[in-house]
Chain A
Amino acid sequence: MAKMMYRDAVLTTIAEEMERDENVVVLGEDVVGGMGTPGGPEAIGGIWSTSTGLFGKFGADRVIDTPISESAIMGAAAGLALSGKRPIAELMFADFIGVSLDQIWNQIGKFRYMFGGKTKCPAVIRMAYGAGYNAAAQHSQSVHQILTGMPGLKVVMPTTPADVKGLLRQAIRDDDPVIFLEHKALYGVSGEVPDDKDYVIPFGHARLSRAGNDVTIVSTGLLLGFCEAVADKLAAEGIGCDVIDLRTTSPIDEEAILDSVEVTGRLVVVDEAPPRCSLAADICATVANKAFASLKAPPQAVNPPHTPVPFARELETAYLPSADKIEAAVRKVLAYR
C-alpha cells in the first residue's frame, strides 16, 4: 500500500495501463498542454494534473492534445474504440457534456445494441464534476443523473483514491463505454492505495464505509464524507448507520441497499444532483418497491434544490447538501412515529 492523492491515483492508473497495453491512448483538451506555445509541450500537463508526464513517456501518438472541440473529442474516442484502441477521453468539466452529448448518448452508448451486439466500444470518458470550488452554474454540476439514465453507458463515481485505482483500471479494461466521474473537490484527498498493477474493482459492487443497524445512508463522491461524519457523530449517541458508497450508479448495487434496509428499515439517500428524476429519487423508489415491508419510515432524499449551482461562497454552501442537512434527514427517519 502507498499513500496517494485521488488525482495521482488517476494519473498512476492511466500510466500503468498505458504501459501494459499499447492500445490505450489518451485524448482531450490540454492533456498535454502548452502545444503551440513558447512554453512548449507539457507546460501544463492537464488542468487537473491527471495526465502530467504522459506525453513525455508515451509520445504524441498516444497522448493526443486536442483543440477545444468536445464533440470531436468524444467522436474521435468512438472512432478509436471501434478501430481497436482503448481511448481515455478527458472532458475537462462534466458540464461540457452539453456540447458533446450526441456523441456520448446517440453514438458511443448505442453502438453495441444498435449494431446487434457485434460491436465493442471500449471508450473511457473521464470528466471532473461537482460543486465546492465556487465555479458557478456551468462548471460545478453533477451530471450523473443524466448519464445514468442512458442505456449502454456504465457510470462510475469513485470516492477514495483506492477506488479510483480499482475502478479506473476496470473502466480501461472494460469492453463497454464507461463514464468516469471524478469529483474535483476530491482531487487533493489522500488515501492508501493498493500497489498491485492488476487491482480492479468490478462494477456494481458498493462499499460499506460505516456499519450500523439503525439507518441506511447511501451516497457517493464528495458527499460520502459528510455522511461518514454524520454516522460517526451519531455512533457516539448509540445510533448505528450503514453508510453505503455506491461507487457505480450503473450498474447499481441494488442488493447492497436492499440488504441493508432489510435490517435498518430506514433509508436516507444523499445526492449532489438536483432532486427531480435524481439518483436519490430512483433509489428511494426502488426501496419503496422492493423493500416496502421492511420500511419503518418513508425514505428520505437529500438533494440540492432545483436551481443552477450558485456562485457566491455563502450561496454555494447553502445549495449543497451539508452534514447538518444529512443529520436532519437521518433524525427524521429515526423519529418517524
Chain B
Amino acid sequence: MQLSREALLRAYRQMKVIREFEERLHVDIQTGEIAGFTHLYCGQEAVAVGVCEHLSADDKIVSTHRGHGHCLAKGCDVNGMMKEIWGSRDGLCKGKGGSMHIADVDKGMLGANGIVGGGAPIAVGAGIAAKIDGKGAVSIAFSGDGACNQGTTFEAMNMAVVTKAATIFVFENNHYSEHTGFEYAVGTTKDIASRAEAFGMKVWRGDGTDFFSVYETMREVLEYVRVPGNGPAAVEFDTERFFGHFEGDPQRYRGPGELDRIRELRDCLKNFRKSVTDAKLLEHGDLDALDAEVLEAIEESVRQAKAAPRGTAEDVLTDVYISY
C-alpha cells in the first residue's frame, strides 16, 4: 500500500520528534538538572510510529518504562511531556508521574509503566472493553524482551485469548532486558512471537528498524484484530536500543563497535530517508526542512520546561481522595 506524501512526511516527523526529544534528554540529563531515572527509546522509533500511525483516540495503548516514544507517537503533547520530565507542575501529569508514568487517557494513552510486565494485563482490560463496545477499536500492549519473561505477560496473553479481547501484543525485541542479553534471558524458543503463538494467537514478525516493515505488518495485524470475534494477536519487531538501559548506564555489556554499527546500519530514520528518496517519493530537502523544524520544536519545549512553574508542598496533597 502506497502512503501519501502527507502520510510519509507525518511519519518521518513523528519519528524525528521522538529521536530529537530523546537525544536532547540524553544531553540535558548529564547536566543534573533532570531528576530521577530516564530510559530512552532512541533507536526504536519506527515501532512506536509504525504502530500508532494506524490508531485513533478510541484505540488504547499501554506502554513501558521506555515509554516516551509511545506517548509521543500516540499524540501526547511534546511540551507537556518535556515539562513533565523536567518535573514542572505544568507537566502532563503535574510533575507527579515523571518519565516512567506519563499518561493521557483522552488520547488513548493509558500510561507508561515503571513495572516491567505491568502493562500487558491492563491492555487486556482495554481490549475487553473494546470488544464489548463492538466498534472495532483495539488496545495495544507494548512490551519488550524483558517483559516477555514476566508471568503477568503470560497471564495477559492467555486471558486475552480466553476472553477474545481486541488486544495486540507488540513485542519490541531490542536484545537487552536491562543489562542482560536476549540470548541468555529468553529460554529455549529464542524468540518471543512463538511464545505468543503457543497461547493460540496469530502472530506476525517484522523489522523494527524499518518503518515500512512495521507499518505494513501492523496494517495486516489490525485488519485481523479489528474484526469482532477474532480476538487478540501478537507481533514481534526486531529493533535496536541506541542508549543504555537507563541514562548513566555505562553499557559495558555492548560488543566492540556495536553502537556505531547499529547507528550506521539499523537507524530507522536513515533507513526511511534512503527508502523514500531512492523511490523518489520525497526529496532530501523535504526531510531536511522537517529536521530543522523538529529541532526548533524540541528546543522550544526545553525552553518552556526550564521556565515552567515548579510544584509546591500543597501540590503534594492534591489528586488524592484523602490524605492523613
Interface of A with B (CB < 8 Å)?
Answer: 25, 61-62, 64, 66-67, 69, 71-85, 87, 102-103, 106-107, 110-119, 151-152, 154, 176, 204, 250-251
* Closest B residue to A69 using CB positions: B155
Cβ–Cβ contact B94 & A117, under 8 A: yes
Contact call B125/A83, Cβ cutoff below 8 A: yes
Could you list 12 examples of A-B contacts with CB < 8 Å?
A67-B155, A69-B155, A69-B158, A69-B159, A76-B128, A78-B121, A79-B126, A85-B132, A103-B122, A116-B97, A119-B105, A251-B322
Using A71-B151, A83-B60, A113-B319 as known contacts, say yes or no to A106 and B114 having CB atoms under 8 A apart: yes
CB of A30 to closest CB in B, whole Å: 13
Instruction: Return A190 CB to nearest CB of chain B, in Å.
Output: 33
Q: Which one of B101, B151, B163, B321 has the highest number of Cβ atoms from chain A below 10 Å of its Cβ?
A: B321
Q: Are A251 and B124 in contact (CB under 8 A)?
A: no
A85–B129 CB distance below 8 A:
yes
CB-CB nearest in chain B for A62: B132
**Chain B residues near A107 (CB, 8 Å)?**
113, 115, 118, 122
Tell whether, in the assembled complex, residue B97 and residue A71 are in contact, meaning their CB atoms are under 8 Å apart. no
**Residues of chain A contacted by B118 (CB below 8 angstroms):** 75, 102-103, 106-107
Against A, the Cβ 8 Å flags (1 = close, 0 = not) of B150-171 are 0110011011001100000000
- Given the known interface contacts A82-B105, A83-B129, the answer about A117 and B318 at a Cβ–Cβ threshold of 8 Å is yes
- Chain B interface size band reads 35 or more
Give CA–CA (A332, B124) in the complex, Å.
Answer: 54
* Contact residues in A for B158 (Cβ distance below 8 Å): 67, 69, 72
Decide: B159 and A67 in contact? CB cutoff 8 A. Answer: yes
Task: List 7 tightest A-B contacts by C-beta distance, closest first.
Answer: A75-B121, A79-B125, A117-B319, A116-B93, A83-B129, A72-B155, A76-B125
**Shortest distance between the CB of A303 and any CB in chain B (Å):** 21
* Residue pair B105, A103 in contact (C-beta under 8 Å): no
The reply on B233 being an interface residue by CB < 8 A is no
**CA of A107 to CA of B121, assembled, Å:** 10
* Contact of A61 (CB < 8 Å), options: B122, B124, B132: B132
- A69: chain B residues at CB < 8 Å are 155, 158-159
Judge if B49 is at the interface, Cβ distance under 8 Å: no
| B104 partner residues in chain A, CB cutoff 8 A | 118
CB of A82 within 8 A of CB of B321, answer no
Identify A116's interface contact among B96, B122, B155, CB under 8 A: B96
- Cα A113 to Cα B103 in complex, Å, equals 11
CA distance A251 to B321 in the complex (A): 8
Q: Which of A76, A82, A103, A151 has the most CB of B within 10 A?
A: A76
With A67-B162, A69-B158, A113-B319 as contacts: A79 and B92 at CB distance below 8 Å: no
Contacts A72-B158, A102-B152, A151-B320; A82 near B114 (Cβ below 8 A): no
A193 to B197, CA, bound (A): 51
Of residues 55 through 80 on chain B, the ones whose CB sits less than 8 Å from some CB of chain A are 60, 62
User: Given A72-B121, A117-B94: A83 and B322 within 8 A (CB)?
Assistant: no
Measured CB to CB, the nearest residue on chain A to B164 is A60
8 Å CB contact of A72 from B124, B318, B321 = B124
Inside 8 A of B126's CB, which chain A residues have their CB?
79-80, 82-83
Contact with A along B84-102 (1 / 0, CB 8 A): 0000000111111100011
B residues in contact with A176, CB < 8 Å: 321
CA distance A176 to B322 in the complex (A): 11
Once bound together, how far apart are the Cα atoms of A64 and B106, in whole Å? 26
Chain A residues with CB below 8 A from B125, complex form: 75-83, 87
**A251 contacts across to B, CB distance below 8 A:** 321-322
Q: Which residues of B contact A83 (CB under 8 A)?
A: 60, 110, 125-126, 129-130, 139
Instruction: Digitize B127-139: 1 where CB-to-A-CB distance is under 8 Å, 0 elsewhere.
Output: 1111110000001
Annotate B206-247 by CB proximity to A: 1 below 8 A, 0 otherwise. 000000000000000000000000000000000000000000
Asked whether A79 lies within 8 Å of B124 as measured between CB atoms, the reply is yes
Complex Cα distance, B89 from A116, in Å, reads: 9
For residue A85, which residue of chain B has the nearest CB?
Answer: B129
B307 to chain A, nearest CB (A): 19
Q: How far is the CB of A96 from chain B (nearest CB, A)?
A: 13
Q: In the complex, are the beta carbons of A76 and B159 less than 8 A apart?
A: yes
Docked Cα-Cα span, A67 to B152, in Å, equals 13
**A106-B115 contact given A66-B163, A69-B159, A151-B320, CB 8 Å threshold:** yes
Least CB distance, A269 to chain B, in whole angstroms: 17
Residue from the set B122, B152, B155 with the largest chain A CB neighbour count within 10 Å: B122
Task: Say yes or no: A152 contacts B121, CB within 8 Å.
Answer: no
- Which residues on the B side are within 8 Å of A85 (C-beta)? 129, 132
Known: A176-B321, A251-B321. A82 touches B162 (CB 8 A): no
Question: Considering only CB atoms, which chain A residue lies closest to B134 in the complex?
Answer: A61
Q: Which of A74, A106, A116 has the most CB of B within 10 A?
A: A116
B120 interface residue per 8 A CB criterion: yes
Complexed CA–CA distance, A115 and B101 (Å): 7
**A75 vs B320: C-alpha distance when bound (angstroms):** 21
Kindly report which residue of chain B lies nearest to residue A105, judged by CB atoms. Answer: B115
- What is the distance, in angstroms, from A110's C-beta to the closest C-beta of chain B? 8
Please, which residues of chain B bring their CB within 8 A of the CB of A110? 101
Other 13 A-B pairs with CB < 8 A, given A119-B111, A176-B321: A61-B131, A67-B162, A72-B155, A72-B158, A77-B125, A78-B121, A78-B122, A84-B129, A85-B132, A111-B111, A115-B102, A116-B92, A119-B103
